[in-house]
Structure 1
Amino acid sequence: MRFDLVQLWPLAILSQLVCSQQILWGQCGGIGYTGSTRCVATATCTSYNPYYYQCIPGPTQKSTTSSTTPIRTTTSSKTTSTTTKAMTTSSTTTKTTTRTTTSSSSSSTTKLTSASSTTSTKTSSTTSIKTSSTTSTKTSSTTGICATGTFTPVSASAAFASLMPGLNIGNTFDAIPDETSWGNTVTPANLDTIKSRGFKSIRLPVTWEYHLISQGPSWTINSTWLDRVEYIVDESLKRGLWTIVNIHHDSWISFDTGAANANYTLMNEKFSALWSQIGDRFKCKGERLLFEAINEPGGETQAHAQQLNTMMGLFMTSVNKAGGFNPKRVLVLNGLGMSMDKTEIWFQRPSIYPDQPWGLTFHYYGPYDFIFGAWGKTIWGTEDDKAAIEAEFKMWKGNFTDIPTFVGEWNASPKNVERAAGWRYYDAFTKLCNKYGFSHIIWDAGNDNLNRITNTWFEPASQSILMNAVAGNTNVLADSTLDGGATTQFSSAYIFHKVGDAVTDKTATYINTNGAPISVKTSTGVDLLASGQVGYSAGSTPSTGVLTVKQSYFATLIGSNTAPGVLETLNIAWGAGEELTLKIVLYKAPTVSNPTIPMQTSGDLHIPVQYAGLPFPAAVYGEYDDAARTYVSDDWTVWLGPLQKGRWVSGNWGYDSSSLILSESGLSNIRAKAPAGSTKAILAWEFFPRDGFAVGSNALNITITL
């Protein structure tokens, strides 16, 4: 899972509220959470994603460590190194630390049964295997034979091509300590909805650590937990969905290669034990089940990467020794952190099990500022923006020309990203994946794509754009600001009407059009296009169009006492199957009861707010009251555009359904950076539509006295 998305810090209540301690494993923060943010003394409030923080045991993140000296593999040009206990030998070719370095000249040999030096054999990636002409193949081994089940061997290339589009079942089996701990579950009905929407695969992240019933050397997994995972795997395969099972948050709990005092011998033992059991339980499943080694493993150096390369070999060995169909099953390997850069620099191709089909995966959450809501970056979609992604894809393809690859996680979540810009991203990202042959599996945490409880999609428009782009079709998209030098931002994902303004016709513009929409329906199914309350005309440039919502319709929504907020969501159907939404929003600037607040020295600061439009901030600008009007954070943003200068990275601020939040780190930053003579920091909370702090601006000033 990748969830530092719009990172929020543990949420402590404002001084007038009483904070109690949260129990072990209890929730202690996240978007929308209003309870206690303090854990009992034996636990630490830990962030897993912006929507869920949890009290986990211990003062720090748990890792598999030992007081003994870590046993690490080292690399040098054309030399070998040997680790004890796991009896692992590794041969590597020294690599430079630039993205242009290709790993095609590198190889890695990992064996569990010999401590002698070995010379690795340079081989090309195993991207395909001989395909059987039969529909059923029985594979036997010394440890496992499949008496039932069918398996048609498939190449990694063919398997990966079949994954797109895919959906992660995130924050579920990977939740800590159990499936529902982060508020999600997964049901066969959810899988039906995923399948019917056009998804071809699911990635099923699984955390195993809190389901172990013994310690080393066996590290036995509770059979009840294996049963539960197997049930969903079977239900997924039964529906024809390709399914990926992995080791997920164990990556930082037990297998952080960069952790201080990491015991690689113990790490290897445990990793092998887990995959031996997983491999054994699932050995007779069909070819549509793939195994992924480990999610986003930590580490920053070549030594850390070498340990991970060793673990890739242990993964392949453990799965193969489990027997059944596993020797022909497609396996998914990866580099440190699922990072493109680190994988390109340090990944070593395995040379063991030459008939084993395998490929690579990486995660993509970029550009950081846009996807993570940092420094006021709410604009995206220029040709340069797209070219930046393409450059990274092209680099990967150049380094791993013959290795099949898929993107295991990505997203431009409606929880974090302005929607017109987000739709542009969905469209462009998918088309670039098509161009470079990368299947992709979008991240879903149960709160931005599929609502697992209601079994409905949070934002059908995003799914429509995704599916249309996967098919190679042109998407009609809502127009929006692209100029990073703009002082205001518009978005045709919305029609904004300011409280007190005269009610008139309003327009939304679209790009890539090929004629008028088929219908424009209200949430109750009334077609405003057919009734004449919405009109359509061609735009001033080719392939653009203008939708005009008439004053007569607005008059049915807006009266003198209408409360601000989202008044209606119109559903627009276009000829090629695209379905967009247009939210009609009545707004004014939000308010707080007391905009001047004294500095607090610990905990997060919750400021009760009355939203009056879209219920989330777009950005936060901060400056001190000194003569220079010094930025509260990140002075370098002076070089950015008007809508980004002086804006904070989102980790310093957050929000929930009723509060604006200054994190403890944000408050600490205000105190630490205060210039001599300043007595207060002024924070301007901006909301959509962003109007650049004009008179009557859609922003709220909050002053923190020092």
Structure 2
Amino acid sequence: MKFYRLWFQVGTKLACNPSLVAFEPINEPPCNDADDATEINKLNTIFLQAINDAGGFNSQRVVTLVGGGEDSIKTSEWFEAPSGFSNPYAIQFHYYSPYDFIFSAWYVALHKLQNVLLIFYRGKTIWGSDADKATVLSDLQLLRGNFTNVPIVLGEYDASPTNTEPAARWKYVDYLIRNALGLDVSCILWDNGLDHLDRDTGTWRDPNSISMITKSTASTQNSLPDSTEDSSTTTQWSSASLFHEYGTQVVAQSLPFLFNGNTLSLISDSTGSILQSGTDYSVSSSGITLTASYLSKHLSPATSPGVIADLTLKFSGGESSPIIQIVQWKTPTLSSTSAVASSVSGADLSIPITWGGLTTVAAVKAVTTSGVYLVDDFTVYLGPLQQARTVSFYLQVASEKD
């Protein structure tokens, strides 16, 4: 009854608004089994009954209906459309898979150490293998295959520039968008102001992702930097950054690239200057090489660590214009090997570190001097880059009675 009354009030208030105002009955309703799904199907019916009873334009209003958790698998299996209503509708689902890549968090572990509660978030920074792509495509095809003649809306998805590796992110965005469009699935990007759009400056944090999202079609062939795809490897690399080690001589460096049928048109630097082919860089079938003479304009053995310059790449086709960072790096240093957590609940633990290049940590190996993992022992069965790793953690000081 409360659900009916809520939507009756909304329908009454907005009864005269046109289809520019669409309704969604409930966001990501929890669903563990078929019984839960049956209740969610009932909620869709109650929702439609309520807005239709409210009158006005509501009998013609466009709505999106939801399945269990707005999950593609659960929706595919258990969603049943209400009958007896004239409203044009679409099925809405949300997609944040693989969770460990999108959120850099596949598990949250609680650990009590004396009177401090440690909450660990862990994940990975690799995406793009054949298995990764097959999973995404299978999830999309399952939903479309079960609802062949119904509009489908991917109402939330994200690969945030604040917590995903750029080359892996661009490969993910490219693959997801093109295959969703190929299955006639409309896509709406999730953004809370902390991910894509900087609300203070009104600028996009990752224009390359936005360009691929807004301009690509199912047949678009985007050129992309390559990166690690094998989770069993002990090292990780990415062509979205060019790293030069502090204290070493500057040499030519090559960046593997996925041209996907396009050719490189131009490279421009942070000042807008155009690099000269043959002098500043060369191109082969496998990638792009920046010459030592060009890199020496930005780098030297003594250049202070950090992001030194950005290079923007343009191609003959596609909508991708990736930005490659030139980074001078050296090993970060600790001014102290110990730190004390504040007694204030929710306060940060300040780690006395001086960065030596990029200031964003992909992951930290949390292990005691005796070799005991601070995170779960079962991570030993994961890839080397995930074993005992934590990408972030909170510390909450508990009372002694806890």
Task: Judge same fold: TM > 0.5, yes or no.
Answer: yes
Give the direction of change, closer, same or farther, for the CA distance of 1:560–1:620 in structure 2 (3 Å limit): closer
Find the counterpart in structure 1 of residue 353 from structure 2. Answer: 609
- Cα displacement (A) at 1:513: 4.3
- Cα displacement (A) at 1:386: 0.6
Equivalent in 260, 263, 281 of residue 535 of structure 1: 281
Equivalent in 565, 569, 583 of residue 306 of structure 2: 565
The superposition leaves residues 331-361 of structure 1 with CA deviations (integer Å, 9 ceiling, x where unpaired) of 11112321233334443321131x2211211
Q: How does 1:420-431 map to 2 (within 5 A)?
A: 420-431=167-178
Tell me, yes or no, if the aligned pair for 2:379 and 2:387 is still in contact at 8 Å: yes
Equivalent in 72, 85, 88 of residue 357 of structure 1: 88
Tell me, yes or no, if the aligned pair for 2:181 and 2:218 is still in contact at 8 Å: no
Is 1:287 the equivalent of 2:34? no
Is 1:482 the equivalent of 2:226? no
Find the counterpart in structure 2 of residue 334 from structure 1. Answer: 66
- Cα displacement (A) at 1:378: 1.4
Find the counterpart in structure 2 of residue 549 from structure 1. Answer: 290
Find the counterpart in structure 2 of residue 620 from structure 1. Answer: 364
Equivalent in 137, 153, 158 of residue 406 of structure 1: 153
Distance in 2 separating the partners of 1:439 and 1:445 = 20
Tell me, yes or no, if the aligned pair for 2:179 and 2:218 is still in contact at 8 Å: no
- Match for 1:583: what amino acid? Q
- Cα displacement (A) at 1:450: 2.2
421-430 vs 465-474, greater mean Cα deviation: 465-474
Equivalent in 246, 255, 258 of residue 508 of structure 1: 255
Tell me, yes or no, if the aligned pair for 2:269 and 2:309 is still in contact at 8 Å: yes
Runs of 4+ in structure 1 over 4 Å off: 301-304, 598-604
Distance in 2 separating the partners of 1:376 and 1:554 = 33
- Match for 1:322: what amino acid? A
Q: How does 1:603-682 map to 2 (within 5 A)?
A: 604-626=348-370, 629-648=371-390, 650=391, 653=392, 662-664=393-395
- Cα displacement (A) at 1:290: 2.0
Find the counterpart in structure 2 of residue 313 from structure 1. Answer: 45
Gaps of 5+ in 1: 1-85, 87-268, 654-661, 669-706
Tell me, yes or no, if the aligned pair for 1:305 and 1:346 is still in contact at 8 Å: yes
Gaps of 5+ in 2: 106-121
Q: How does 1:123-162 map to 2 (within 5 A)?
A: none
The superposition leaves residues 361-390 of structure 1 with CA deviations (integer Å, 9 ceiling, x where unpaired) of 111111111112134521110111111112
SS in 2 for 1:315: helix
Q: With the length of structure 1 as denominator, give the TM-score of the two structures.
A: 0.50
Equivalent in 393, 396, 405 of residue 140 of structure 2: 393
Distance in 1 separating the partners of 2:369 and 2:335 = 22
Tell me, yes or no, if the aligned pair for 1:279 and 1:326 is still in contact at 8 Å: yes
- Cα displacement (A) at 1:295: 1.4
SS in 1 for 2:216: helix
Tell me, yes or no, if the aligned pair for 1:378 and 1:418 is still in contact at 8 Å: yes
Is 1:574 the equivalent of 2:312? no
SS in 2 for 1:470: coil
- Cα displacement (A) at 1:600: 8.0
RMSD, matched Cα: 2.6
- Cα displacement (A) at 1:598: 6.1
Distance in 2 separating the partners of 1:594 and 1:392 = 48
Percent identity, aligned pairs only? 37
- Match for 2:329: what amino acid? Y
Give the direction of change, closer, same or farther, for the CA distance of 1:625–1:524 in structure 2 (3 Å limit): closer
SS in 1 for 2:336: coil
- Cα displacement (A) at 1:300: 3.5
Distance in 2 separating the partners of 1:574 and 1:556 = 24
- Match for 2:320: what amino acid? E
403-412 vs 344-353, greater mean Cα deviation: 344-353
SS in 2 for 1:624: coil
Find the counterpart in structure 2 of residue 343 from structure 1. Answer: 75
- Match for 1:568: what amino acid? A
- Cα displacement (A) at 1:482: 1.7
Find the counterpart in structure 1 of residue 112 from structure 2. Answer: none
The superposition leaves residues 45-80 of structure 1 with CA deviations (integer Å, 9 ceiling, x where unpaired) of xxxxxxxxxxxxxxxxxxxxxxxxxxxxxxxxxxxx
Give the direction of change, closer, same or farther, for the CA distance of 1:561–1:281 in structure 2 (3 Å limit): farther
SS in 2 for 1:553: helix
Equivalent in 333, 343, 347 of residue 591 of structure 1: 333
Q: How does 1:127-526 map to 2 (within 5 A)?
A: 269=2, 271-353=3-85, 355-374=86-105, 375-470=122-217, 472-514=219-261, 516-526=263-273
Give the direction of change, closer, same or farther, for the CA distance of 1:529–1:462 in structure 2 (3 Å limit): farther
- Cα displacement (A) at 1:480: 1.1
Q: With the length of structure 2 as denominator, give the TM-score of the two structures.
A: 0.85
Tell me, yes or no, if the aligned pair for 2:73 and 2:142 is still in contact at 8 Å: no
Distance in 1 separating the partners of 2:377 and 2:276 = 49
The superposition leaves residues 389-435 of structure 1 with CA deviations (integer Å, 9 ceiling, x where unpaired) of 12222332343334321111111111111110111101111122123
SS in 2 for 1:612: coil
SS in 2 for 1:396: helix
Distance in 2 separating the partners of 1:635 and 1:600 = 28
Tell me, yes or no, if the aligned pair for 1:572 and 1:580 is still in contact at 8 Å: yes
Tell me, yes or no, if the aligned pair for 2:101 and 2:164 is still in contact at 8 Å: yes
Tell me, yes or no, if the aligned pair for 1:284 and 1:325 is still in contact at 8 Å: yes
- Match for 1:331: what amino acid? V
- Cα displacement (A) at 1:479: 1.2
Tell me, yes or no, if the aligned pair for 1:447 and 1:458 is still in contact at 8 Å: no
Find the counterpart in structure 2 of residue 101 from structure 1. Answer: none
- Match for 2:27: what amino acid? N
Distance in 1 separating the partners of 2:340 and 2:350 = 13
Give the direction of change, closer, same or farther, for the CA distance of 1:372–1:578 in structure 2 (3 Å limit): closer
Tell me, yes or no, if the aligned pair for 2:311 and 2:325 is still in contact at 8 Å: yes
Distance in 2 separating the partners of 1:636 and 1:560 = 42
The superposition leaves residues 76-106 of structure 1 with CA deviations (integer Å, 9 ceiling, x where unpaired) of xxxxxxxxxx3xxxxxxxxxxxxxxxxxxxx
SS in 2 for 1:547: strand
SS in 2 for 1:465: helix
The superposition leaves residues 167-190 of structure 1 with CA deviations (integer Å, 9 ceiling, x where unpaired) of xxxxxxxxxxxxxxxxxxxxxxxx
Distance in 2 separating the partners of 1:564 and 1:314 = 60
- Match for 1:310: what amino acid? K
